[in-house]
Amino acid sequence: MKNFEKYEKQYFIPKGVSMDFMWRDAIEKPPVWCSVDLRDGNQALIVPMSLEEKLEFFTLLCKVGFKEIEVGFPAASETEYEFCRALIERDLIPEDVTIQVLTQSREHIIKKTFEAIRGARHAIVHLYNSTSVAQREQVFRRSREEIVDIAVFGAKLCREYREKEKSGHISFEYSPESFTGTEPEFAAEICNAVLSIWQPTPEDKVIINLPVTVSHSMPHVYAAQVEYMDKNLINRENVVISLHPHNDRGCAVADSEMGLLAGGDRIEGTLFGNGERTGNVDIVTLALNMYAQGVDPGLDFSDLPAITEIYEKVTRMHVYERQPYSGALVFAAFSGSHQDAIAKGMKWRAEKGGVWNVPYLPIDPTDIGRVYEADVIRINSQSGKGGIGYIMETQFNHVLPPKMREAFGYHIKSISDHGHRELQPAEVYEIFMRDFVNVSDRVDVLHADFTQEGQRRRAACVIRFGEEEKAVVSYGNGRLDAVANALQEVSGAAYELEGYTQHALEGKSTANAASYVSIRHNEKTYWGAGIDSDIMTASIKALCSAVNRMLQDDNK
């Protein structure tokens, strides 16, 4: 992804606190990423993906940038076998992408697995067997030695079948399934037994995968287990330590990050965390966590909404609205104080630039294909003047005076509260135009001529009040003040002209000006806005709008 340079570490390690479990304080480079969406993610679906849906998803994963993709367990079902063959026979696997297939340590399954990958340019055969105390005692009812024999048997068969293959490069991976429930010394023993058979080299490295098949502990415990393996695997320089965290305790991302700090080199996970039970590690979250710390994750999530759309279509799953980074509402600020801080932070960034540190936004939403106005500032009864003012300025070019932002904000909040719903930006603008701009229902200045008489301005006005039109001459310190006095004479309502600002409506196709006027009546302030190609006319319209809002209030 681009733009990762604008981020950096923004946390502090407290002094005097033991951090012995922290091997490094940050992840400084991305791991090797392996998507298991088409195996772990698919087998977790109520309705598994069809062949064509799998092909579409595979294409998406390649586009995102995965170089290793586990495409299934080809000996487990005919659909998975056909999918693997379709990828190879249709030549759909990019030159730089390696497919991965899973197999148990059983001869007929290993045989079928190698048949499935025949003709692939690059493939990883992923062998596994269960090693935990619970699995050994309750499921297989075998000793440690017998469990090691299962792994060794499969490793030898994989080596033999690879030797028979005439084309393509086949690598090996081994998983002691239920690693987190396995004694560390036994996990190292069985992995080393497999490594001694496969004999990894710098040109033919072996992947040792350490799955959190079931999460039993806090993340630092898993990290300690990873560190133990890092220090006790033979031929470590030719071994890639892979992490495969599940999310039973909601710790998959933390397990992954801590495991990488402890010596992990590779991550197996899924987009959005879909997988058995509570799921696998969410690679989107994990990668964008790195991105937010100034590390290029090597995966392209610059159009995350489009990725989400394809994922939801082919899996029939839904990305939760509050899922980190990818959820529809994760950047949304409804709270007034949050909106105000974001609006001010965005203004600060526009002026100062530098490292990204906008309040409440861990990354720039536009970096992943989100839109500030649509995704960040959301308007409901919890919203405040800052967010509403931000929308009015950034989307509709109206720079409301601070006190008018407050008044308009309360007006919008009241409408949202009574309707019990969110208001879209277009609705906010429609309400502004209807209730504040060029309002002329009770009183309107149809015409005004100005002359200077000494130190004062003279206004000769034609004013409509109700159904009647009246010609009025009035005086004031300036043109607007003179018109204000004329309106008071016709309406019979006493008020003070309190505030006035104006600006050009930039970005509009016509050269219009916007004016904002406030008046004070019975200890209450009323705001109005006017839009016209002539700045004085716009100001008079703004004054009329404020007066009409005042008269509406008086008649309630």
Q: Contact 245/282 with Cβ under 8 angstroms?
A: no
At residue 433, does pLDDT exceed 70? yes
* For the chain, percent of residues with pLDDT exceeding 70: 94
**What average pLDDT does range 187-209 have in this prediction?**
98
For 523-554, write each residue's pLDDT tens digit.
999 999 999 999 999 999 999 999 999 999 88
Q: Which amino acid is at 496?
A: E
Rounded Cα gap, residues 56 and 307, in angstroms: 11
Residue 372 phi/psi, 5-degree rounding, is -50, -55
pLDDT value, residue 290: 96
Reported confidence tier of residue 2, pLDDT bands at 50, 70, 90: confident
At residue 87, does pLDDT exceed 70? yes
For residue 526, give Cα distances in angstroms to 69, 409, 465, 501, 519. 63, 13, 19, 14, 5
Backbone Cα Rg of the chain: 34
pLDDT value, residue 145: 97
Assessment of whether the complete model's pTM goes beyond 0.95: no
Domain positions in the chain: 4-12+20-315, 336-411, 443-554
Tell me whether the CATH fold assigned to 4-12+20-315 matches the one assigned to 443-554. Answer: no
For 291-324, write each residue's pLDDT tens digit.
999 999 999 999 999 999 999 999 999 999 999 9
For 53-85, write each residue's pLDDT tens digit.
999 999 999 999 999 999 999 999 898 999 999
Residue 253, H or E segment = helix 252-261
The contacts of residue 224 (CB under 8 Å, 6+ apart) are 21, 262
Rounded Cα gap, residues 32 and 332, in angstroms: 32
For residue 496 the two structure tokens come to 């003070």
**What average pLDDT does range 404-423 have in this prediction?**
89
At residue 11, does pLDDT exceed 80? no
Question: Which of 362, 307, 353, 356 has the alpha carbon at shortest distance from 333?
Answer: 362
pLDDT value, residue 228: 93
Reported confidence tier of residue 266, pLDDT bands at 50, 70, 90: very high
| Mean pLDDT, all residues of the chain | 92
At residue 370, does pLDDT exceed 70? yes
At residue 374, does pLDDT exceed 70? no
pLDDT value, residue 395: 87
For 453-463, write each residue's pLDDT tens digit.
999 999 999 99
For 105-142, write each residue's pLDDT tens digit.
999 999 999 999 999 999 999 999 999 999 999 999 99
Q: Which CATH class is domain 443-554?
A: alpha beta
pLDDT value, residue 544: 97
CATH of the structural domain 4-12+20-315, one choice from 3.20.20.70, 3.10.580.10, 3.40.50.300, 3.40.50.150: 3.20.20.70
**What average pLDDT does range 473-490 have in this prediction?**
95
pLDDT value, residue 62: 98
Reported confidence tier of residue 507, pLDDT bands at 50, 70, 90: low
